[in-house]
Structure 1
Amino acid sequence: MYGTIYEFETLPTSGEHDGRRKSASLARSAQRGRAVPLVGIIRNPRSHRNKGHAPEMADCSNILTETPRTRTDLYGVLESFARRGIDYLVVDGGDGTVRDVLTCGADIFGEEWPTFIVLPKGKTNALAIDLGLPNQWSLAEALAAAHKGNKLTRRPLRISSREDSNGCIQGFILGTGAFALATEAGQEAHRRGAFNSFAVGLTVLWGIIQTLFGRAGNPWRSCTPTRLVNRHTGRDLPYQGPGRSDERFMAVATTFERFPLGARPFGSDVAPGMKLGVIDWPVRWVIALLPAVLFGFWGKFLERRGVHRFCASAVDLELDGSFILDGEAFPGGDYVLEEGPQLTFVVP
């Protein structure tokens, strides 16, 4: 949206808007007899491919287009959409806009969200790649696909504080350690005119070069104090690196099943749900193999050198450093990382 539209520590408390949830539930019940679908659009005019372009189908009476500028505005718009019982919630922007909508709407919609339509107008659009959306997908094409019943389901990641479970943030790709540096490099790639999968490829290549050839003191070769605990077993996730067991080079969590550039970091048969990729320590020959690992190469010898792939529905994350969620940095702390509500997305 227009800069950071919310702060993690000031998200609304669960239960604070119970009355609003009830009103939204009644509105959703009333929508079933509607002949023409009611469509609510959250449009980010600052998204890469929205700049200088007018919103689509804005003159249609069943299309409600809003451009909230602040977190408070976005919350109010989503509350209004819920009360009116919209059939489709359109996010006209990039991955960050999707994250903002999922976060600000968490207490309004709970586990019962309207069907999503994503118009990929951002710089990377990783969610669009996972869903198989074309880069130039229009609202008219999306509504036609919705009429045909073309849909997929996904669960976002939900991150909440272990000390105060009232607030949460929701998105699709979380990263720590070197992932944060890679995000900064990706922003530089955007400034130089690289977008989507090409920008991802450049970022990965730059990170590998820095980690391979960096000297002592290079931030690309540092680790971040990190503890990962499976909430169901109470056990720490395995550590095999040569460094300290309470530090990790990088951790990435996602619920995606498809990735930019056709990458297969979790293998060719990707299971639904939350997945974590972790590198304990930047062993140089392991980093040199990272491109192959990203495209499906795997072996037990990698685990013995501190490269891990995990599947878990909930993890305690203790982090002394910032983490990235869909392109935005959030402060370190003690968090619960888990799967969020099941969402339905319209696809071609």
Structure 2
Amino acid sequence: MTMTDRSRRGHFALISNPLSQRNRRGMEAIEAVLDDLPGIDHYKLGDVAEMPDILRHLAADGTRVVALNGGDGTVQAGLTHILEDRPFESPPAIAILPRGMTNMTAADVGLTGRPGSALRKLHRGLAGDGPEPAIRNRHVLRLENAAGFPPQRGMFFGAAAIVQAIELCRDRVHSLGLEAALANGVTLLGLLANWLFRGAEGSVLRGENVSIRIDGEVRPEAERLLVLATTLDRLVLGSRPFWNDDREPLRFTAIDYPPDHLFRRAGKLLYGGPERALPAGYRSCGAGRVELDMTCRFTLDGQLYDPEPGKPVILSAADRLDFLRI
């Protein structure tokens, strides 16, 4: 079935979060573009809590393509309600208009170019008046046992240094007004330089105790500098800090603390090939289910959570969705 068939000659729904970083200054321009494009149902969120009702309405209307206009948090909320509430008989294709601060999910599976141009190309492609969008089918991560929350969906999980880096970026870098890629680069280079000149004892990064079980196999308890799991192909700055994934749905990486020669090995860690020849404290593999016993905070697509006391954080990725890229 082509995307033209699925989308009823260009019809799709756009859910916008006006409070996302770039939408605070750009919603009027997007709405002006929408005025020229027939067949697009536009919904503006007053609160992300409105997402379930909107999705139920779209499911009842037979909508086959849902575009999410916002940051990683808006996308994460949409994925959660689509896959946990199951309002659609068959999940819609997802298009992501990157309008947040980091936009890591959109960088891998979202729309490209300026927002107005991206919406026009998507509309033409779905209507059969231009190139069809490419379909990128991806597993979607499921996270259980975040304190105070039902199971959540997303594309990237991180703990220990990743949470510390997010907090540092928000506190010190985002206030500079830099674009997302530049802000991420400044943060990463600053952390590596800090490690190079001050070492583990003087670094702003610290280890966290995390016990790991991967598909039932227990890994030795240790302090971890970094723990991540993702279903994306590339992360910030195009990095790929995972290897040996064995075609499993989750790409999982953990680095022990303190790491062996972190600065020297950073290039291979972030951009190396399938065989990276890293020391034993650098571990990466594919996984179907990961259980983490920890007390430290963690992130799912940029949103911060605490673990449910006494329960492991459980990661899996059985479900898949189609993402449109054009």
| TM-score, length of structure 2 as denominator length | 0.83
Equivalent position to 1:247, from 197, 208, 223: 223
Does residue 144 of structure 1 match 2:127?
A: no
Residues 143 and 267 of structure 1: CA distance in aligned 2, closer, same or farther (over 3 Å): farther
Unaligned runs of 5+ in 2: none
Tell me the equivalent position of 1:44: 17
User: Could you say which residue in structure 2 is the equivalent of 1:347?
Assistant: 325
Bigger mean CA deviation after superposition, 59-68 or 112-121: 59-68
How do 1:132-211 residues align onto structure 2 when only pairs under 5 Å count? Answer: 133-137=111-115, 138-146=118-126, 147=128, 148-161=132-145, 167-187=150-170, 188-211=172-195
1:289 aligns with: 265
- Cα distance in structure 2, aligned partners of 1:163 and 1:128: 27
Contact 2:156–2:230 (8 Å) recurs in 1: yes
Q: Which runs of 4+ in 1 moved over 6 A?
A: none
How far the C-alpha of 1:211 sits from its partner, in A, is: 3.5
- The question of whether the paired residues in 2 share the 8 Å contact of 1:43 and 1:67 is answered with yes
Q: 1:129 aligns with which of 107, 118, 126?
A: 107
1:19 corresponds to: none
Trace 1:1-348 onto structure 2 (pairs within 5 A): 35-52=8-25, 53-54=27-28, 55=31, 56-58=33-35, 62-105=39-82, 106-109=84-87, 112-131=90-109, 133-137=111-115, 138-146=118-126, 147=128, 148-161=132-145, 167-187=150-170, 188-212=172-196, 213=198, 216=201, 219-220=204-205, 222-231=206-215, 234-237=216-219, 239=220, 245-266=221-242, 271=247, 273-283=249-259, 285-296=261-272, 299-300=276-277, 302-304=278-280, 306-333=281-308, 334-348=312-326
**Post-superposition CA distance 1:169-197 (Å, at most 9, x none):** 11111110011011112223222122222
**Distance in 2 (alpha carbons) for counterparts of 1:60 and 1:149:** 17
For structure 1, the residue ranges without an aligned partner over 5 or more in a row are: 1-31, 240-244
Would the aligned equivalents of 1:208 and 1:288 in 2 still touch at CA under 8 Å? no
Larger strand percent:
2
> What is the distance in 2 between the residues matched to 1:225 and 1:110?
40
RMSD: 3.0
Partner of 1:27: none
Q: CA distance change for structure 1 residues 72 and 285 in 2, over 3 Å: closer, same or farther?
A: closer
CA displacement at 1:287 relative to structure 2: 4.1
Distance 1:115 1:325 in 2: 21
Conservation of the 8 A alpha-carbon contact between 1:43 and 1:91: yes
Is the contact between residue 120 and residue 135 of structure 1 (CA under 8 Å) also seen in structure 2? no
- What is the CA–CA distance in structure 1 between the aligned matches of 2:6 and 2:100, rounded to whole Å? 35
In structure 2, the residue corresponding to 1:282 is in which secondary structure?
coil
Q: Given the superposition, is the C-alpha separation of residues 111 and 335 from structure 1 closer, same or farther in structure 2, using an over 3 Å criterion? A: farther
Instruction: Compute the displacement of 1:33 (Å).
Output: 8.8
Q: Over residues 92-122 of structure 1, what are the superposed CA-to-partner deviations in whole Å (9 max), with x where a residue is unaligned? A: 1121210111123321347831011111112
What are the superposed Cα offsets for residues 121-151 of structure 1, whole Å, 9 maximum, x if unpaired?
1222212221274241421112233442521
- Aligned equivalent of 1:7: none
Find the aligned partners of 1:171 and 1:104 in 2 and give their Cα distance.
Answer: 11
Q: Which amino acid aligns with 2:188?
A: V
Matches of 1:111 and 1:322, distance apart in 2: 35
C-alpha separation in 2, matches of 1:103 and 1:121: 19
Contact 1:173 1:252 in 2 (8 A): yes
Q: 1:33 to 1:293 in 2, by over 3 A?
A: closer
Decide whether the 8 Å contact of 1:211 with 1:282 is kept in 2.
no
- Cα offset for 1:218? 5.4
TM-score normalized by the length of structure 1 = 0.78
Q: Residues 134 and 182 (structure 1 numbering): CA distance in 2 closer, same or farther, change over 3 Å? A: same
More displaced stretch, 35-44 vs 334-343: 35-44
Between 1:113-122 and 1:266-275, the stretch displaced more is: 266-275
Aligned residue identity for 1:143: H
Cα pair distance change 1:268/1:192, threshold 3 Å: farther
Query: Counterparts of 1:159 and 1:92 in 2: how far apart (Å)?
Result: 23
Quick one: distance in 2 between partners of 1:33 and 1:175? 35
- Among all aligned residue pairs of Structure 1 and Structure 2, give the percentage whose two residues are the same amino acid: 26
